[in-house]
C-alpha cells in the first residue's frame, strides 16, 4: 500500500465534499475490498475517507409497513441477522449466509458490497484492460471460466456481489448523494454495463456515495429463493447464483423477478424466463420452459460454458422449490 | 459558498497522515500508544509494534483467517483493518485468552484433541471459536463449522478442531 | 565403533545406494509383545501450550532489535534478459539501508549455471533485486522506485511444447532434463505382454500444479555476530540450510548457525537453502543490521514451489481374468524454471502390482512457469491417480469388483527388485477398509433426486523407512530431568512429541521430565531433512539409542550406589527398581548424588537391513455425492487404513492421516494454479482464487491403523506417516465420482466444469442400477503375437 491521508467523515456532506476536493480519494467502509485493491496497487488513493464514523449511517430501520431502509455502512452481518430481513426478505438473509466468511461479514458493509469491483483475474492482476482505461479484454481469449455469459460489453468480468441479486429481485432502490444533492434510483439502474467512458459496473460518479438502500414491502404471499454455486463449500464468490421473488394470486403468478448473479457485469434479469412465467400457474412443465428461457441468448466464451447449464439448473431448482409453497 | 470554504479549511485540518501519528489502542484490556502511519494495519501494529505475534500474517488480504482477532467482540481479519480505524475499540488477541494463568477451556481442548499440527492457523481459529462460545456456550456441530469457515488450516486439522470445540460445548451443556 | 557400509537410502520414492558411515544399532527392536508405557499411547503435543497461547515463536515471529525488513523485486515476465537496473532513486528514499542487485551482489552460483541474481529471468517471480529498509512499508515503496529494463524473450509454459526441439530454451542445456530419452525403466517384454492381453486400455491423464501454500511462508531472519551468521528460517532441514548457505557465502560450517524452533509447515517446499536466505544474509552483512525477509502470499505462490503438473499416457494390457500383462507409462512432469526431476511419477506403475512387463518413461521438463518442488509424496500422488483410475476402469469394463482386481494383481514381493518386503499388510488394509466402508454393499446406486452417491477406492504404496545418518544426544540433569538434544525439526508433524515419547520409554522417565531441543544446528548433531516420511524412522532409533546409552550409564552408577548388580535394575516412571534384592530409588536421587557429573547418551541410527524392501502401504475408500445437474461434488466420507509399522502416538499419526486426506481432497476437487498462456504469468497467486479446502469441505474421516511393528526395519519398528495418507485420496475420489455419476474425469482437479462437460457427453442418461461399463472407453483389439 502506498502512503495516504486518513480522515473520519462527520456527515455524508462532509464525505462527499472530501471526495470532490481531493480527486485522488476513496471512501473506506469495511475496507475489505478497498484495502486489497490498494495492497495490490490496482488503485493508489492519497486520501481515505472513513464513512463508518458518520452518525446513524449504520442504522437499519423498518418502517412497520413492510419496507426497510438500510444505512450504507451497516455490516452485512448486521443485515443478515436483522429480524425483519429474516422474516420478510429471507432471500437476502440466505444470500448473506453464504457470502464471504463470518469475519468478512462482520467487516464488510452493504454499501461497500454493492460498490465492489469485479474479481476478474486480469483486472486484479497487473494487466492493463478496459476497466483500467486500456483497450480490450484479456479474459476473452485467456482464462475465462469466471467470465460472463450475458451482457457482453467491452469487458467480460461479472459483478461479484451476492447482495445485489436478491436486492434487485426484491425491487430495492439506492439513495445516492453528491455535493450536488441526493437522488434515489432503483438498484437495477444503479448497475450498468461498462462501456465507452464508463469503466465501472455502477453509475456512481466520482463524488457520489451510497447513503442507503431501501427495500419496498413485498406483495402478499410473495416467496423467494436464493441459490449460489461455488468452487468450494464456502468463502467463495459465486460461479453463478440466482435470486428469485415471486408472488401469486389465485395460483397465477402475478409478479416475478428472477435475477442471475455472477454471469454478467451486472445483476442480470432473466426477463424471458419472467415473461414465460407471468400470469401462468407454476407447473413442472412451465418450470422447464422458464429455465430454458433463462439461458436463451447466453453467450459463453470458452471455459465458462458450464455456466449455461448451471444457470438453467439453478433456475429450475429455485422454481421447483417454490412449486409447493 | 462561505460555508464550504470554512468547512473545507477545517476539514483539511482533520486529515491525518501520510506520516506517522500517535494512536492509542486497547488490546486485551491494556492501553498502548504507538506511532504509525495511517497505512499500517492492525495486524502489523499488533505483531511488529506491540510484539503480540500470536495473530499471524499469511495472506494479508482477508483470504485465510490466520490474523483473526476480536474487535469489539466480533471476529475480524486484522490484516484488513487499519490501526487508525481501531482507536478506542477493544481488541482481543489470542494472547489475552488465558485468564489468571489458566488456559481457556478451548485452549485446553485444542491440546487434548490435537487440534493443530503446525499451529500457524491456531490463534485465528481459537479467536473465531472464542467469539462463538462467548455468544453461545454449547454450540452445535454446524454452528462450530460455521464459526470456523473463515479460517483456513493447510495442515488439515479441521476434524480435530471440531472435536475439540464440541468437547467444550458438551462440557458446558452438562454444567 | 562407526564403520563404512553401503546402505540403501530411499528418499521421496527414489532408492539410492550410497556409502554411509554408520554405527551398528546396539538396540534390539522392541518386539510386538513388549509392554510399553509411553510409546503407542496418545500423548498431547510437546509445545502445544505455546501454540494455543500465541507464545510459540515461529521464524515469522522472530524480532531482533534494530531489525530491517527486506522485500524482493521480482520479474514480472516469464522470460527476459535484464538489460539494466537503476536503483538510484530507491537508494535515496528515507529509511532504505541497502539495495542488492546483480551489479553489487557477489556472483554466487545457483541452480546449475545461473546465479543468485542472474542476468536472465526465467519465470514470473524470479529475483531481480532486494531492498532492506527500516520498515516493510518503506521497503515496498523502494521496490517501486527501482527501474528495470528487460529484453523480453520467447517463453514456454506448456511442457509438451517445451519438449519440441525448436521450443524456447529455459536453460542452455535444453528443456528435457537428462536428455530426450527421459528416464526409462523396463522389465520383461512390453510388446509380448500387450500381445498376450485380451484387452488393452490407453488413456491420457493430467494432474495440475498444486501450490503448497504452507501458512508460514519461506521467511527468515539473518543476523551477523561478528563473522558468524545466525539464521532463523522456516525450514524442513536446518542442517541442509546451514550447508547450502555456508557454501553460497563461502563460509566454513562452524560460522553458520541455523535455528528453526516452531515451523508453519513445509509439505516438501522447504527442503534446503533458498535464495531468500542468502539474500537476507548478504543484506544483513551489507547493512550491519539484522534483516528479516517475509515474502507475501503472492510471492509464495509464484516462487515457493508447486507440485509438478503432469501429463501421463498410460497403457495397460490385461487378460480376461484381470491379470495385468503389460503396463506402459509415458509421463511428462513440468518442473518449471528451476525445479528438479526428483518426482517419481512412474513409481506406482513400477511397484504397486505384480506385472511382468512394465516400461516407464519419465520426462521432467523445464518451462518458464514457477518452479516445482517436492510436495507430499511427489510423483506418487500423481502417478497413483492415473494408475488407480485405470485399474478402476479396467475392473468396470471386465465387470469385476475393483478390489478383486487389485487382489488378482497383488505383488507378494517387490516387483522391481524381487526383494521381500519387511512387511506388507496391504491385503489387510484392503479388507479392513472394505469392511469399514461397506464396500460390498455399494453395488446399488443410490439416488436422491439429482444427487448420486458413489464409493471408490485406491491403494497406497510409498517408502518411509528412513535411514542413517541421524543422531541424538541425551543429557541427564542433576534433578533427574533430561535434555534430549537433536538437530531435527518439527515441521508440524509432531516430531518433538514422538521423540520425547521414545526417549521417555527407553530411559524410564516421565515424558514431562524430558525437554527436547530441535531446529538448532549449534545444539544438536546432524539430522536429516524432515521429508520423505523419514523423520520418525530415522530420528526415532537414534533417540532410542541415545536413551539406551544414557540409561545404561545411569544404571551402572545406580548399581554401585545401591550395591546391586546392574542387570537386576530397571527404570519406570523415574523410579529405579532392583528385583533382587527388591529395592527402589528415584532417578533424581541417583543424579543428585552424582552431582554435576553429567550422564550423556549418544545415539546414531543404525543401517537399514540388507535385502529387504521397506514400504508403507494403505488403502482409502471415498464416498462422494455428485449432483448430476449442477456438477457439485461433495466428499461425504473417507475411510483410510494405513500401515506405518508401530504407531508411536495415535493422536499425532491420526492427525497426519486426516491432514493428508484434507490436502488430497483439495488436490482432487479444487486446487489449481492457473498460468495465462498468452503472458506466461500466474493468474491466481493468492488464497482467494487458489482454493484450498475449508472446514465445510471436509467429510467424516475414519481411519484405522494396522499398528504392527515392522521389526526388521529399525529398532522402533516404525515407518513414516507423513506422506502416505495423501497418496490414494484423489484417485479414490475420482473412482467414487465414476461410481456415482458414471463419468470418468481424467484430469485433476475434478471441477464442476469438467463434470458438467462429461455429463453433457452422456446426455444426462440416468445411471443404470448396478455396475455400469465405462462410457468413453477406447478398446483396442488385442494384438496377436
Ligand atoms: C476472500 C474474500 C471473499 C469474498 N467473498 C464474497 C462473497 O462470497 N460474496 C460477496 O458478495 N462478497 C464477497 N467478498 C467481497 C466482500 O463482500 C466485499 O469486499 C465487501 O462487501 C465490501 O464492503 P466493504 O464495506 O468492506 O467495502 P470497502 O472495501 O470499504 O469499499 C469497497 C469499495 O466501495 C466503495 N465504497 C464503500 N462504501 C461506499 C459507499 N457508501 N458509497 C460509495 N462507495 C462506497 C469504496 O470506496 C471502495 O471502492 C469477498 C471478499 C474477500 C476478500
Ligand atoms: S492474513 Fe488476514 S486473512 Fe489472511
Ligand atoms: S495446523 Fe498448520 S495450518 Fe492449521
Please state, rounded to an integer, the average pLDDT across all residues of chain B. Answer: 94
Averaged over C466-480, what is the pLDDT? 95
Domain co-membership, C430 together with C543: no
Rounded to a whole number of angstroms, the distance between the first and last alpha carbons of chain C is: 59
Closest CA to B118 of B151, B155, B149: B155
Averaged over B110-138, what is the pLDDT? 98
In sequence order, the 6+-apart residues with CB closer than 8 A to the CB of B16 are: A5, A6, A7, B38, B84
Best mutation site among A27, A70, A259 for ligand 1 pocket (most ligand atoms within 8 Å of CB): A27
Between A128-137, A160-169, B32-41, C546-555, the lowest mean confidence (pLDDT) is in A128-137
Domain co-membership, C317 together with C461: yes
In sequence order, the 6+-apart residues with CB closer than 8 A to the CB of B174 are: none
Joined together, the cell numbers standing for residue A119 give 474479481
What pLDDT shows up at residue C341? 67
Task: For CATH 3.10.20.30, list the domain ranges present in chain B.
Answer: 18-95
The 10s digit of each residue's pLDDT in C441-466 is: 886 666 778 899 999 999 999 999 99
**pLDDT band at residue C779, thresholds of 50, 70 and 90?**
very low
- Residue C565 forms part of a structural domain: yes
Domain co-membership, C596 together with C678: no
Tell me, in angstroms, the distance from the centre of ligand 2 to residue B49's CA.
18
Q: Is C32 on the interface with A (CB under 8 A)?
A: no
**pLDDT band at residue C92, thresholds of 50, 70 and 90?**
very high
Instruction: State the pairing for strand pair C199-207/C779-780.
Output: antiparallel
Q: Does C723 qualify as catalytic in the annotation?
A: yes
- For residue B75 and ligand 2, the question of a CB distance below 6 A is answered with no
- Residue C646 forms part of a structural domain: yes
Give how many domains chain C has, as a whole number.
2
What pLDDT shows up at residue C767? 39
Question: With 80 as the cut, is the pLDDT of residue C331 above it?
Answer: yes
Q: Give me the percent of chain C exceeding a pLDDT of 90.
A: 87
**Domain end point (choices C552, C576, C604):** C604
What pLDDT shows up at residue C782? 30
Instruction: State the pairing for strand pair A5-8/A47-50.
Output: parallel
Q: Is A221 on the interface with B (CB under 8 A)?
A: no
Instruction: Return d(Cα A136, Cα B13) in angstroms, integer.
Output: 42
The arrangement of secondary structure in B105-174, i.e. its CATH architecture, is Orthogonal Bundle (1.10)
Task: Indicate the residue of A2, A127, A306 with minimum beta-carbon distance to C757.
Answer: A306
Best mutation site among A78, A99, A106, A115 for ligand 1 pocket (most ligand atoms within 8 Å of CB): A115
Distance of CA C513 to the CA centre of its chain: 31
A249: exposed, middle or buried (Cβ count in 10 Å: 0-12, 13-18, 19+): exposed
Q: Are C233 and C214 in contact (CB under 8 A)?
A: no
Q: Are A273 and A293 in contact (CB under 8 A)?
A: yes
C101 SS3 class = strand
In sequence order, the 6+-apart residues with CB closer than 8 A to the CB of B82 are: A6, A28, A31, A35, A48, B38, B39, B40, B41, B42
Q: Which domain does C652 fall in, by range?
A: 310-465+611-759
Which 65-104 residues of chain B touch chain C by CB within 8 A?
66, 93-95, 97-98, 103
**B39/C775: higher pLDDT:** B39
Distance of CA C46 to the CA centre of its chain: 22
Closest CA to B59 of C58, C689, C681, C263: C689
What pLDDT shows up at residue C580? 81
Question: With 50 as the cut, is the pLDDT of residue C144 above it?
Answer: yes
Residue nearest to atom 17 of ligand 1 (CA): A113
Q: Are C502 and C540 in contact (CB under 8 A)?
A: yes
Joined together, the cell numbers standing for residue C44 give 498431547
Domain co-membership, C324 together with C452: yes
Q: Are C601 and C473 in contact (CB under 8 A)?
A: yes
Please state, rounded to an integer, the average pLDDT across all residues of chain C. Answer: 93
**pLDDT band at residue A168, thresholds of 50, 70 and 90?**
very high
The 10s digit of each residue's pLDDT in A173-190 is: 999 999 999 999 999 999
Nearest bound ligand to the CA of residue A115? 1
- For residue B152 and ligand 2, the question of a CB distance below 6 A is answered with no
Please state, rounded to an integer, the average pLDDT across all residues of chain A. Answer: 95
What pLDDT shows up at residue B2? 38
Between C90-104, C542-556, C602-616, the lowest mean confidence (pLDDT) is in C602-616
Domain co-membership, C319 together with C408: yes
Q: Give me the percent of chain C exceeding a pLDDT of 70.
A: 95
Best mutation site among B79, B94, B127 for ligand 2 pocket (most ligand atoms within 8 Å of CB): B79
In sequence order, the 6+-apart residues with CB closer than 8 A to the CB of C62 are: C221, C232, C292
Query: Residue A99 gets which letter from DSSP?
Result: S
Q: Is A314 on the interface with C (CB under 8 A)?
A: yes
Task: For CATH 1.10.150.120, list the domain ranges present in chain B.
Answer: 105-174
Q: Is B35 on the interface with C (CB under 8 A)?
A: no
**pLDDT band at residue C766, thresholds of 50, 70 and 90?**
very low
Interface test with chain A among C142, C150, C624, C630, by most A beta carbons within 10 Å:
C630
**pLDDT band at residue B3, thresholds of 50, 70 and 90?**
very low
C6 SS3 class = strand
Nearest bound ligand to the CA of residue C216? 3
What pTM was estimated for this model as a whole? 0.96
Instruction: Return d(Cα C622, Cα C628) in angstroms, integer.
Output: 18
Burial C528-542 (b: 16+ CB within 10 A, else e): bbbbbbbbbbbbbbb
Question: With 70 as the cut, is the pLDDT of residue C753 above it?
Answer: yes
For the segment(s) A222-322, the CATH number from 3.40.50.10490, 3.30.360.10, 3.30.390.50, 3.40.630.40 is 3.30.390.50
Q: Is B120 on the interface with C (CB under 8 A)?
A: yes
Q: Are A166 and A91 in contact (CB under 8 A)?
A: yes
Residue whose grid cell is 505383488: C411
Averaged over A38-62, what is the pLDDT? 96
* H or E segment and range at residue C522: none
Averaged over A296-310, what is the pLDDT? 92
Instruction: Return d(Cα A26, Cα A15) in angstroms, integer.
Output: 10
**C695 C-beta neighbours (distance < 10 Å), count:** 26
Question: With 70 as the cut, is the pLDDT of residue B53 above it?
Answer: yes
Q: Give me the percent of chain B exceeding a pLDDT of 90.
A: 91
Question: With 60 as the cut, is the pLDDT of residue B6 above it?
Answer: no
CATH assignment at residue C686: 3.30.365.10
Which 222-241 residues of chain A touch chain C by CB within 8 A?
229, 231-236, 239
The strand pairing partners of C327, in sequence order, are C316, C358
Query: Residue A132 gets which letter from DSSP?
Result: G
Phi, psi for residue C287 in degrees, rounded to 5: -95, -10
Question: With 80 as the cut, is the pLDDT of residue A24 above it?
Answer: yes
What pLDDT shows up at residue C445? 60
What pLDDT shows up at residue A220? 86
**Domain end point (choices C548, C573, C604):** C604
Name the class of domain B18-95: alpha beta
Task: Indicate the residue of C491, C652, C698 with minimum beta-carbon distance to B159.
Answer: C698
Q: What is the ipTM of this complex?
A: 0.96
Interface test with chain C among B20, B96, B114, B140, by most C beta carbons within 10 Å:
B114
**pLDDT band at residue C7, thresholds of 50, 70 and 90?**
confident
3-state SS record for chain B: CHHHHHHHHHHHHHCECCCCEEEEEEECCEEEEEEECCCCEHHHHHHHHCCCCCCCCCCCCCCCCCCEEEECCEEEEHHHCEHHHHCCCEEECHHHCCECCECCHHHHHHHHHCCCCCCCCHHHHHHHHHHHHHHCCCCCHHHHHHHHCCCCCCCCCHHHHHHHHHHHHHHHHHC
Distance of CA C464 to the CA centre of its chain: 11
DSSP characters over C686-699: STTTS----GGG--
Between chains, do A31 and B149 touch, taking CB under 8 Å as contact?
no
The 10s digit of each residue's pLDDT in A251-285 is: 899 999 999 999 999 999 999 999 999 999 999 99
- Residue C747 forms part of a structural domain: yes
Question: With 80 as the cut, is the pLDDT of residue C169 above it?
Answer: yes
Between chains, do C670 and A232 touch, taking CB under 8 Å as contact?
yes
Residues from chain C contacting residue A314 (CB–CB below 8 Å): 630
- Residue C211 forms part of a structural domain: no
Between chains, do C696 and B149 touch, taking CB under 8 Å as contact?
yes
Amino acid at each position: 500500500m502506498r502512503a495516504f491521508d486518513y480522515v473520519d467523515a462527520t456527515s455524508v456532506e462532509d464525505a462527499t465534499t472530501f471526495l470532490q476536493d481531493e480527486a485522488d480519494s476513496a471512501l473506506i467502509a469495511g475496507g475489505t475490498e478497498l484495502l486489497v485493491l490498494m495492497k495490490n496497487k490496482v488503485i493508489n488513493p492519497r486520501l481515505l475517507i472513513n464513512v463508518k464514523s458518520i452518525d446513524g449511517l449504520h442504522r437499519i430501520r423498518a418502517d412497520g409497513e413492510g419496507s426497510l431502509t438500510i444505512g450504507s455502512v451497516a455490516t452485512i452481518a448486521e443485515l443478515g441477522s436483522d429480524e425483519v430481513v429474516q422474516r420478510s426478505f429471507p432471500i437476502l438473509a440466505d444470500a448473506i449466509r453464504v457470502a464471504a466468511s463470518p469475519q468478512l461479514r462482520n467487516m464488510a458493509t452493504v454499501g461497500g458490497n454493492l460498490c465492489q469491483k469485479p474479481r476478474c483475474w486480469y483486472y486484479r492482476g497487473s494487466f492493463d484492460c478496459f476497466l483500467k482505461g486500456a483497450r480490450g479484454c484479456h479474459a476473452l481469449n485467456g482464462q475465462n471460466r469466471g467470465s460472463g455469459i450475458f451482457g457482453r460489453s467491452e469487458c467480460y468480468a461479472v459483478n461479484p456481489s451476492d447482495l445485489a441479486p436478491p436486492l434487485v429481485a426484491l425491487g430495492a432502490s439506492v439513495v445516492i448523494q453528491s455535493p450536488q444533492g441526493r437522488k434515489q434510483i432503483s438498484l437495477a439502474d444503479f448497475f450498468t454495463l461498462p462501456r465507452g467512458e464508463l469503466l465501472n459496473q455502477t453509475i456512481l460518479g466520482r463524488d457520489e456515495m451510497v447513503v442507503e438502500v431501501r427495500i419496498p414491502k413485498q406483495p402478499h404471499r410473495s416467496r423467494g429463493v436464493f441459490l449460489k454455486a461455488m468452487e468450494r463449500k464456502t468463502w467463495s464468490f459465486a460461479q453463478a447464483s440466482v435470486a428469485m421473488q415471486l408472488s401469486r394470486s389465485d395460483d397465477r403468478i402475478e409478479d416475478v423477478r428472477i435475477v442471475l448473479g455472477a454471469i454478467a457485469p451486472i445483476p442480470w434479469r432473466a426477463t424471458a424466463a419472467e415473461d414465460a412465467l407471468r400470469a401462468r400457474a407454476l407447473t413442472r412443465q412451465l418450470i422447464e420452459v422458464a429455465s430454458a428461457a433463462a439461458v436463451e441468448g447466453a453467450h459463453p466464451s470458452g471455459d465458462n460454458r458450464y455456466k449455461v447449464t448451471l444457470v438453467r439448473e439453478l433456475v429450475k431448482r429455485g422454481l421447483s422449490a417454490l412449486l409447493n409453497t | 459558498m462561505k460555508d464550504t470554504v470554512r468547512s473545507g479549511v477545517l476539514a483539511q485540518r482533520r486529515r491525518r497522515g501520510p506520516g506517522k501519528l500517535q494512536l492509542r489502542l486497547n488490546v486485551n484490556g491494556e492501553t498502548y500508544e504507538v506511532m504509525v502511519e495511517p497505512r499500517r494495519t492492525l495486524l502489523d501494529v499488533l505483531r511488529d509494534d506491540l510484539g503480540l505475534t500470536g495473530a499471524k500474517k499469511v495472506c494479508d488480504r482477508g483470504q485465510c483467517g490466520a490474523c483473526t482477532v476480536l474487535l469489539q467482540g466480533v471476529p475480524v481479519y486484522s490484516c484488513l483493518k487499519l490501526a487508525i480505524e481501531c482507536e478506542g475499540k477493544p481488541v482481543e488477541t489470542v494472547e489475552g485468552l488465558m485468564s489468571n494463568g489458566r488456559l481457556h477451556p478451548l485452549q485446553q481442548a485444542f491440546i487434548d484433541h490435537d487440534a493443530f499440527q503446525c499451529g500457524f492457523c491456531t490463534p485465528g481459529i481459537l479467536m473465531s471459536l472464542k467469539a462463538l462460545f462467548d455468544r453461545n456456550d454449547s454450540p452445535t456441530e454446524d454452528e462450530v463449522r460455521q464459526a470456523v469457515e473463515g479460517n483456513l488450516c493447510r495442515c488439515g486439522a479441521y476434524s480435530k478442531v471440531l472435536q475439540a470445540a464440541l468437547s467444550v460445548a458438551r462440557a458446558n451443556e452438562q454444567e | 565403533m562407526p564403520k563404512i557400509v553401503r546402505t540403501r537410502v530411499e528418499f521421496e520414492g527414489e532408492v539410492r545406494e550410497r556409502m554411509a558411515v554408520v554405527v551398528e544399532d546396539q538396540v534390539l527392536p522392541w518386539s510386538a509383545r513388549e509392554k510399553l508405557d509411553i510409546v503407542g499411547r496418545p500423548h498431547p503435543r510437546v509445545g502445544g501450550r505455546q501454540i494455543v497461547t500465541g507464545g510459540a515463536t515461529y521464524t515469522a515471529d522472530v524480532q531482533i532489535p534494530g531489525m530491517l525488513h527486506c522485500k524482493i523485486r521480482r520479474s514480472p515476465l516469464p522470460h527476459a534478459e535484464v538489460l539494466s537496473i537503476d536503483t538510484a532513486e530507491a537508494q535515496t528514499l528515507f529509511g532504505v539501508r541497502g539495495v542488492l542487485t546483480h551489479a553489487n551482489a557477489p556472483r554466487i552460483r545457483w541452480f546449475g549455471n545461473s546465479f543468485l541474481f542472474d542476468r536472465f529471468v526465467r519465470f514470473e517471480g524470479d529475483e531481480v533485486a532486494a531492498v532492506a529498509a527500516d520498515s516493510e512499508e518503506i521497503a515496498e515503496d523502494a521496490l517501486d522506485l527501482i527501474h528495470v529494463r528487460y529484453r523480453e524473450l520467447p517463453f514456454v509454459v506448456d511442457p509438451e511444447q517445451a519438449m519440441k526441439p525448436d521450443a524456447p530454451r529455459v536453460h542452455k542445456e535444453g528443456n528435457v532434463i537428462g536428455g530426450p530419452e527421459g528416464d526409462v525403466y523396463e522389465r520383461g517384454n512390453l510388446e509380448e505382454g500387450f500381445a498376450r492381453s485380451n484387452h488393452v486400455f490407453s488413456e491420457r491423464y493430467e494432474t495440475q500444479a498444486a501450490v503448497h501454500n504452507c501458512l508460514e511462508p519461506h521467511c527468515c531472519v539473518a543476523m551477523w555476530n561478528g563473522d558468524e551468521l545466525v539464521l532463523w528460517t522456516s525450514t524442513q532441514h536446518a542442517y541442509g540450510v546451514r550447508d547450502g548457505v555456508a557454501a553460497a557465502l563461502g563460509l566454513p560450517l562452524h560460522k553458520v548457525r541455523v535455528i528453526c524452533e516452531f515451523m508453519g509447515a513445509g509439505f516438501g517446499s522447504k527442503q534446503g537453502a533458498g535464495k531468500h536466505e542468502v539474500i537476507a544474509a548478504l543484506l544483513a552483512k551489507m547493512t550491519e543490521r539484522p534483516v528479516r525477509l517475509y515474502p507475501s502470499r503472492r510471492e509464495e505462490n509464484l516462487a515457493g514451489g508447486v507440485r509438478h503438473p503432469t501429463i501421463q499416457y498410460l497403457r495397460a494390457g490385461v487378460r480376461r481374468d484381470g491379470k495385468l500383462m503389460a503396463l506402459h507409462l509415458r509421463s511428462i512432469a513440468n518442473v518449471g524454471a528451476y525445479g528438479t526431476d526428483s518426482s517419481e511419477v512412474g513409481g506406482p506403475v513400477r511397484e504397486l502390482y505384480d506385472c511382468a512387463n512394465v516400461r516407464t518413461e519419465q520426462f521432467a521438463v523445464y518451462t518458464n512457469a514457477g518452479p516445482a518442488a517436492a510436495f507430499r509424496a511427489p510423483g506418487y500422488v500423481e502417478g497413483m491417480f492415473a494408475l488407480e483410475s485405470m485399474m478402476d476402469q479396467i475392473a468396470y469394463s471386465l465387470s469385476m469388483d475393483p478390489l478383486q482386481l487389485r487382489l488378482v494383481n497383488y505383488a507378494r514381493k517387490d516387483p522391481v527388485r524381487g526383494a521381500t518386503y519387511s512387511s506388507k499388510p496391504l491385503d489387510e488394509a484392503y479388507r479392513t477398509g472394505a469392511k469399514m466402508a461397506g464396500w460390498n454393499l455399494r453395488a446399488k446406486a443410490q439416488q436422491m433426486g439429482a444427487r448420486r452417491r458413489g464409493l471408490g477406492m485406491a491403494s497406497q504404496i510409498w517408502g518411509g523407512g528412513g535411514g542413517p545418518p541421524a543422531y541424538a544426544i541425551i543429557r541427564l540433569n542433576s534433578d533427574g530431568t533430561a535434555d534430549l538434544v537433536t538437530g531435527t525439526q518439527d515441521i508440524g508433524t509432531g516430531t518433538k512429541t514422538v521423540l520425547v515419547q521414545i526417549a521417555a520409554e527407553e530411559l524410564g522417565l516421565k515424558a514431562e521430565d524430558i525437554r527436547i531441543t530441535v531446529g538448532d544446528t549449534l545444539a544438536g548433531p546432524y539430522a536429516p531433512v524432515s521429508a520423505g516420511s523419514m523423520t520418525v524412522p530415522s530420528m526415532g532409533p537414534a533417540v532410542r539409542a541415545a536413551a539406551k546409552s544414557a540409561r545404561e550409564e545411569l544404571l551402572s552408577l545406580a548399581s554401585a550406589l545401591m550395591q546391586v548388580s546392574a542387570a537386576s535394575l530397571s527404570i519406570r516412571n523415574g523410579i529405579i527398581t532392583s528385583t533382587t534384592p527388591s529395592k527402589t530409588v528415584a532417578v533424581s536421587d541417583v543424579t543428585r548424588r552424582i552431582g554435576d557429573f553429567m550422564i550423556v547418551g549418544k545415539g546414531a541410527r543404525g543401517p537399514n537391513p540388507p535385502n529387504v524392501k521397506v514400504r508403507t502401504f494403505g488403502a482409502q475408500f471415498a464416498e462422494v455425492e455428485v449432483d448430476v445437474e449442477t456438477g457439485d461434488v461433495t466428499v461425504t466420507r473417507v475411510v483410510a487404513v494405513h500401515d506405518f509399522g508401530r504407531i508411536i502416538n495415535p493422536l499425532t499419526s491420526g492427525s497426519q492421516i486426516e491432514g493428508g486426506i484434507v490436502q488430497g481432497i483439495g488436490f482432487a476437487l479444487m486446487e489449481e494454479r492457473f498460468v495465462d498462456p498468452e503472458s506466461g504469468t500466474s493468474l491466481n497467486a493468492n488464497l482467494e482464487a487458489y482454493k484450498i479446502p475449508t472446514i465445510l469441505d471436509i467429510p467424516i474421516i475414519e481411519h484405522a491403523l494396522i499398528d504392527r511393528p515392522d521389526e526388521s526395519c529399525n529398532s522402533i519398528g516404525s515407518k513414516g506417516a507423513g506422506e502416505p495418507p495423501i497418496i490414494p485420496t484423489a484417485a479414490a475420489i475420482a473412482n467414487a465420482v465414476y461410481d456415482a455419476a458414471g463419468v470418468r474425469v481424467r484430469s485433476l482437479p475434478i471441477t464442476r466444469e469438467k463434470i458438467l462437460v462429461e455429463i453433457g457427453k452422456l446426455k444426462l442418461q440416468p445411471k443404470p442400477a448396478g455396475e455400469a461399463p465405462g462410457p468413453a472407453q477406447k478398446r483396442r483389439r488385442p494384438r496377436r503375437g
